[in-house]
Amino acid sequence: MSQLVNYQLNDGIATLTLNNGKVNAFSPDLIASFNAALTRPNKTGPSSL
């Protein structure tokens, strides 16, 4: 299974990309992955959201 949310960090800017098939529907798993990605900058150093 591929990642539901792709996280990329370039020049201090995080980009989250949904990857849940053709419709990118919000499923419970997608929401959990999205929330995990939102907390990721806190683990990698100073940033703002």
Query: Exposed/middle/buried for 42, CB within 10 Å: 0-12, 13-18, 19+?
Result: exposed
- Which pLDDT score is estimated for 41? 65
Q: Spell out the domain ranges in the chain.
A: 5-44
pLDDT 10s digits, 1-25: 478 889 888 887 888 888 877 776 7
Q: Averaged over 33-41, what is the pLDDT? A: 84
In single-letter form, the type of residue at position 41 comes to P
